[in-house]
Amino acid sequence: MGSDENAEYDVAVIGGGVNGTGVARDCALRGLKVVLFERNDLAFGASGNSSGMIHGGPRYLTMDPDVTYTSCLDSGHIQKIAPHLLFRVPFILPVNKGRGSRNELDLLDAFFDVYDKYQPLKGGKPHVRLRGDEVRSLEPGLAGDLEGGVTFDEYGVDGVRLCVANALDAAGHGAQVLVPASVTSIQANQKGCTLGYQLRQGSSVTGGRVSAKRVVNATGAWAPLTASFAQLPKDAARVRPGKGIHIYLDRRISNYAVMVKAIDGRRVFMEPWQNTTVIGTTDDDYYGDLDNVFATRDEAQYLMQALSGVFPTLKQARPVGTWSGVRPTLFEWGKTEDELSREHTIVDHAPHGAPGLYSMLGGKLASYRLFAEEMSDTLCQSLGHSARCRTSSSVLPGGEPALSVQELASRAGLEPLAASRILYRHGARAERILERIERTPADAEVVCICEPVTLAEVREVIESEWATDVDAVSRRTRLGLGPCGGMRCAQRCGQVVAQETGRSPAEGRELAAEFLRRGLKHRLPVLGPKQVRQEAIALGHHRAQLGLAPGGNGDFEGGSKWTS
């Protein structure tokens, strides 16, 4: 799909994260003509690699109470517009007996008394102070002599699905969504803006230019790079990139999220998230390649150390991977990472010589909709467009009443688990997948056993959700992110992507191999020696199947020679 070069867009959005897709949706709903460019994939950056929570941010209450307020307020809105994607995550914050433990519990109790005032904004229950035995009866897996604890409510979300839903709605209201498309130049002056871009379709790259009255740089941690395409001063769109990693396990080990202190006193957590357990997160200044962010073993050990002491049965589960993202935190000098504000801001680059160009900096998943509304208000005001924001009440695609798990399972001939996962990801749009299966029963084939993901869903995300490679299919469906790490499904998925996107079988094999190579880098920091061995065996077989040398392309190039 290409852009309409002759058309002048009202707004060009650069960035397919939650802010970019949120603005594109908001503007499209207001009737503006919108084009969105995403260089890698929707939710490729922080949006798809966050803690997966629309949380109210109790951590910010002491430093940024406004952030807590806006997060809770928007969490309430997001629950209404994407009910299929949000799930309640009850937290326990345990306190072990020790010197000052009673005081600590009193302080926590008082702190959450304040946080309770924000809970009604997001439909959360007020906190409860618990005795040690009550905490343990709720979660017997907790170790130590417990003084007590408090509970509080947050909500989980699949950040990728949230981005996709926003992009789908934007497109449904006339926006052009171009993925993967890199903006290569931005010219902004009083007459308007012109963007040069390159759109990748399979192995071919086509260039183009579009005109837009306004341009939004919503590229998160890439914001300074994007701003440089408009020749802006170096600090015109400055952020302080902060790397955060998460570990995920092969199963849910608790129905409660548990928040504990790490070795340095930072709060880290373990949460039941979809069909896994997620442990997070770190926060470290990041100076590396934003397109290749991977967890290190040190970071993984820091998290495992913090949680395994408090929740020893964690060690009985199997860490199967990590995800890593870079927060586009607002730039400040002289503060630790945790002290940095999670506020967001809009920068008008007119004073930098680029009228019509704006940068969205900072922010968080929980308040993306509000941030997008503020940005869209600014755009509409500057364009003299009077339409009002509808994103807090207009339901996202899939958020309408959907089939029941039983009905979908029965009509599609799927296991209830497979049906429930489809319904979580797609909500009412699961009917599109059902229609595919009814049209072509063979598409009920389960491609990824771990998640599980059907062939029909793979085809759906390729055809309707801008997925162009195995990695993108995985991002949207969680294909290949289970215990086997894609060893069972990457090859098949590569075939389907190649078929659906008109690429050759050889390109399909390379897509699969690339997914396995990249996935391995995300998995290795948390794999134990036995898992590494298993991984090596499976990789060896994939080399044989796909014809690839380890770590490179080609047909077993660089292999061994006989020595006798």
Helix, strand or coil for residue 75?
helix
CB of 209 to other proteins, least distance (A): 36
Exactly one of 26, 153, 169, 535 binds other proteins (CB under 8 A); that residue is: 535
Q: One symbol per residue from 464 to 493: x for binding other proteins (CB under 8 A), - otherwise; what is it? A: -----------------------xx--xx-
Please work out, in degrees rounded to the nearest 5, the angle formed at the alpha carbon of residue 330 by the alpha carbons of 327 and 333: 110
Structure tokens at 54: 């629309």
Specify the residue for token string 């059902």. 434
Alpha carbon 230 to its chain centroid, in Å, reads 28
Question: Which residues sit opposite 212 in a β-bridge?
Answer: 9, 193
* DSSP one-letter code for 476: H
Q: Near other proteins by CB under 8 A, which window of 88-96, 148-156, 399-407, 525-533?
A: 525-533
Distances in whole angstroms, Cα of residue 441 to Cα of each of 243, 430, 437, 455, 489:
44, 15, 5, 10, 19
Verify cis geometry, omega within 30 degrees of 0, for the bond prior to 401.
no
Binding residue for other proteins, selected from 97, 117, 125, 297, defined by CB under 8 A: 297
Residue 364 binds other proteins, judged by CB under 8 A: no
DSSP 428: G
Is residue 560 within the footprint of other proteins (CB under 8 A)? yes
Candidates 388-396, 399-407, 458-466, 521-529: pick the segment binding other proteins (CB under 8 A). Answer: 521-529
Check residue 317 for interaction with other proteins (CB under 8 A): no
Part in contact with other proteins (CB under 8 A); list of ranges 71-79, 81-89, 134-142, 500-508: 500-508
The binder of other proteins chosen from 338, 404, 537, 553 (CB under 8 A): 537
Q: Is 499 in the site for other proteins (CB under 8 A)?
A: yes
Distance in angstroms between the alpha carbons of the first and the last residue of the chain:
56
Binding region for other proteins (CB under 8 A) out of 152-160, 223-231, 372-380, 536-544: 536-544
Distance CA 23, CA 11 (A): 9
Q: Does 541 bind other proteins (CB under 8 A)?
A: yes
Closer to other proteins at the Cβ: 261 or 543?
543
DSSP notation for 443-454:
GG-EEETTTTEE
Q: Does 203 bind other proteins (CB under 8 A)?
A: no
Closest to 417 in 3D by CA, of 376, 448, 385: 448
Least distance in angstroms from the C-beta of 558 to other proteins: 7
Residue written as token pair 């200044």: 285
Tell whether the torsion through CA atoms of 482, 522, 223 and 207 is positive or negative.
negative
- 525 contacts other proteins (rule: CB under 8 A): yes
Outline where 267-348 has alpha helix (H): 297-310
Cβ proximity to other proteins: between 380 and 444 the closer is 444
Q: Give the three-class secondary structure for 84.
A: coil
153 beta partners: 90
Which lies closer to other proteins via its Cβ, residue 236 or residue 546?
A: 546
What are the DSSP calls for 113-130, one per residue? HHHHTTHHHHTPPPPEEE
**Would you count residue 504 as binding other proteins (CB under 8 A)?**
yes
Stretch that binds other proteins, among 120-128, 334-342, 348-356, 547-555 (CB under 8 A): 547-555
- Contact set for other proteins, span 66-95 (CB under 8 A): none
Q: Are 96 and 145 in contact (CB under 8 A)?
A: yes
Q: Are 251 and 317 in contact (CB under 8 A)?
A: yes
Alpha helices by DSSP H, listed for 82-232, are 101-116, 119-122, 132-138, 159-172, 223-228
Which residue in the set 345, 404, 410, 545 belongs to the binding site for other proteins (CB under 8 A)?
545
Task: CB nearer to other proteins: give 172 or 505.
Answer: 505
Site size toward other proteins, by CB under 8 A: 51
User: By CB under 8 A, is residue 512 in contact with other proteins?
Assistant: yes
Region from 169-177, 201-209, 254-262, 523-531 binding other proteins, contact rule CB under 8 A: 523-531
User: Which stretch, 255-263, 332-340, 418-426, 514-522, contacts other proteins (CB under 8 A)?
Assistant: 514-522
Q: Which is nearer to other proteins, 110 or 537 (CB)?
A: 537
User: Which residues of the shown chain bind other proteins in the complex (CB under 8 A)?
Assistant: 297, 301, 445, 487-488, 491-492, 495, 499, 504-506, 508-509, 512, 517, 520-521, 524-530, 532-533, 535-547, 550-551, 555-562, 564
